[in-house]
Structure formats: structure tokens, C-alpha cells
Amino acid sequence: MFGLTKRDTTLLLVVAVLTIFAPFILNPFPEGSAMAQFNAGYPDLMQRLVIFGIFAIGFNILFGLTGYLSFGHAAFLGVGSYAAIWMMKLLTMNVIPAIMISVLVAGLFSLLVGWISLRRSGIYFSILTLAFAQMSYSLAYSVLTPITGGETGLQPKVNDPRILDAALTEGQNPRANLFGLEMGTSYEMAVGGWIFTFNAGYYIAAIVMLLAFYLSIRIFRSPFGMMLRAVKSNQQRLNYTGLNAKPYTLAAFVISGMYAGLAGGLLVAMDTQVGAERMFWTASGEVVLMTILGGAGTLIGPVLGAGFIKYMENIVSKINKTVLEQWFAFMPDGIEDFFITIVYPFVGKGWHLTLGLLFMMVVIFLPGGLVQGGQKVAGLFKRKKPVDDKPDGKTTPAE
């Protein structure tokens, strides 16, 4: 289907079903129950899950396929966001032009950065991209304040020109919409103790994510993707066969930059504001984290990684001392205090500590990320099968 092999179609369908039913899947606990804080089915978080999924899918096209580790991808996200917000300020609050321009601007910017950075490889490439991202961040914070809003950032105001939209009266808030359908519109469905929220913005982002995912599958399976993998495995040999790797890597870089811009534009579409901190180099580190955690170079890995990190970030940082006390309340007092003391540094404000540890663990023990972990677990069960089969006397010939 759609020019995909059977396996890839299944994968795409599984992801599609998961995203469509996410409001149910992420809300497994009834409202008001003790576990309700683990529910992730609220629009803001769900939007973030899919948007950062797009960001990571794009990053994976560069890092997973070519092996070029960029430490500056947040810059493209930021540039895309700024472009989108200016579209909303000047043209219309409709999200379509905003997202289109964000992809375009991020693509152009990544073309410039990539054209320069890709002259070098390895650690030099990482540092060059890092330098560019830090430069953009510093500029956005200081000199470019008229364009970027500096420290305060930007958001659409009532009296912005907005050529295509009807003028808003005082007191009306400019809201991002898709031909009148506001991004914040939600339909709440109450079933028993559960409340499921279906948010317009989420579904728009989810559809974009599915398209992005589909495109990434096509890239992975195309001759172009093959070429990128060749760059990763042995660039020298590629050169000796008379092929110039640069156009391929540059194309991969620009594509992943456009993905980042798309994510930036969507972020603005959902939550109409931008700040320069979005471009800080730790934000670039975060997308590297998502990709590695999920499994670089795999199709589903980045989506998993992005979802996992954003989910954990939201949920773990919400756990505070009172919650911990509730959890461990069944224990005797002394032991309860002991456990709370142990766990407390890792939750709530200590979320980054957990993240750092998790990240180290993954790099040390599972360089292939969650996907590799899953395969290992699956492998454990698979290996048992031939043992079970043997008594039957059936042996399969070696392929």
C-alpha cells in the first residue's frame, strides 16, 4: 500500500492507529483516581508528543542514515517557529501559510548551515553545527530583538496587521485556526469515570506527523536512502567509486532541517508564542537524546524516543513529595521516609537527573536504543522456539 512493503505498511498502520486513538490510550486511568496523574491524554502534552516526534524523525534522517551528529538542530526549529509567528502576525492566523513558510525558511537556513558545516565531518561537523546554533541563539537574544522579541519572545497581538484576516476588535484574542477551526477546540467525551479529550490541534499535528513518518519510510527505502547509508558505513569507499557524497549528505541535512522547521511551525500553531530558549543547545541535545533513546537509524525509534521523553518529562516532573508520601504510605514510618529520601531526588524537579542517567544507561548498554532493547527481548523468546520444535523432528533448512 502507498508503495510500501507489507512490513512497512503494517508499521505505518500501527503508528496511525496509535496516534488516532492516543486520547484513549494515554488516558487509561479514571478521572479523580490516584493514578490519574499518569494520564497523558490532555491536548497540550499530546500535541508535544507528536510534534517532537516529527522533530526526531527528521533528525534521524540525518543522524540515523548518514551518521553525521548535528548538535545544532534546535536552531532550525527556532527559525521555523519565528517564521511561522511572523506569518501569523502579518498575514493570517490560519496555520497553513505559517507552517508552509516555517518549512521553507528552515530549509533555506539549513541549506546555508549545511553547505558550510558539511565541508567537515566527525566531531568537527558536530562543533560547527553547535557553533551555528549558539550563534543563532545569541543573535536572537540580543541584536535581532526587533525580529525575535529577544527575551520576551513573540506572540500575535490584537493590532497586528494580518492582511487576510478581518480586523479583531479590542479584547478579542487572535487564535490560530485552520479555516476557522480553532486549534484549541476540544470535544470531551465522558465515559464512566473517564474523560477523553479530542483536540483539533492534536489531530492536525498527528496527521502531519503521519505524513512525515510516511515520507521518512519512503526515504529510508529509496535509493537515496541507500546512498545515505553508504555514506555512514564508508564514505571513503563511496568516493573511490567515483561518487560525490556531499550532495547526498547536504540533501539529507536540508530535509532534516525542514522537518525541524515543520515541528517549529506546528509548535507555534498549537501554542502561539516563541522564545529564544527554544534554540538553546540543550534543546539540540534533547533531540539527539530522543533519537538515540528510541534507536537511531530505525524507523519507529525516534517516534518512540520522543514520545517517551516528553511523556516522562511531563509525568515525572509532576510527582512531588506529597504524591510520594501517598505511594509509600503503606510502609512503616521509618522505611517510608527512607524510600522517599531515595526516590525524591529523581522525580519532580529532579527529572533531568533521571533523564541524564537514563541516557547514559542507554548509550552504555543499549547503543541501539529502545528498539534494540525490544529486539533483544523478542530474541530471547524466539530462541526458545527451535528448542520446542526439535522433538517433532522437523528441521528447517538453512537459508
Partner 1 sequence: MDAILLQILNGLDKGSAYALIALGLTLIFGTLGVVNFAHGALFMIGAFCAVTLSRILTLSHTVIDETQKDFLGNPLKVEVPYIYDIFGQTTGDAIIDWAVPLSILFAIPVMVGIGFAMERGLIKHFYKRPHADQILVTFGLAIVLQEIIKYFYGANPIPTPAPDAFRGSFDFGAMLGFDPNTIIYPYWRLVYFAFAAVIIGAVFAFLQFTTFGMVVRAGMADRETVGLLGINIDKRFTIMFGIAAAVAGLAGVMYTPINSPNYHMGMDFLVLSFVVVVVGGMGSLSGAVLAGFLLGILESFASMAIVLETLPGINQIIIYLVAIIILLTRPRGLMGRKGVMEE
Q: Which residues bind partner 1 (CB under 8 A)?
A: 67, 69, 116, 119-124, 126-128, 130-132, 134-135, 138-139, 141-144, 281-282, 285, 288, 292, 345, 350, 352-353, 355-357, 359-360, 363-364, 367
Q: How far apart are CA 249 and CA 67, in angstroms?
A: 10
CB of 316 to partner 1, least distance (A): 13
DSSP 19-44: HHTHHHHT--S-TTSGGGGG---SHH
CB of 290 to partner 1, least distance (A): 12
CB of 332 to partner 1, least distance (A): 26
Nearer to partner 1, 3 or 356 (CB): 356
CB atoms within 10 A of CB 345: 11
Q: How far apart are CA 315 and CA 332, in angstroms?
A: 27
Whether 27 and 40 have beta carbons less than 8 Å apart is answered as yes
Whether 279 and 140 have beta carbons less than 8 Å apart is answered as yes
Whether 305 and 294 have beta carbons less than 8 Å apart is answered as yes
CB atoms within 10 A of CB 390: 10
Nearer to partner 1, 117 or 177 (CB): 117
Bridge partners (DSSP) of residue 177 are 94, 182
Q: How far apart are CA 22 and CA 26, in angstroms?
A: 6
CB of 330 to partner 1, least distance (A): 27
Nearer to partner 1, 63 or 202 (CB): 63
CB of 262 to partner 1, least distance (A): 25
Nearer to partner 1, 197 or 235 (CB): 235
CB of 137 to partner 1, least distance (A): 9
Of all helices (H) and strands (E), which one includes residue 3?
Answer: none
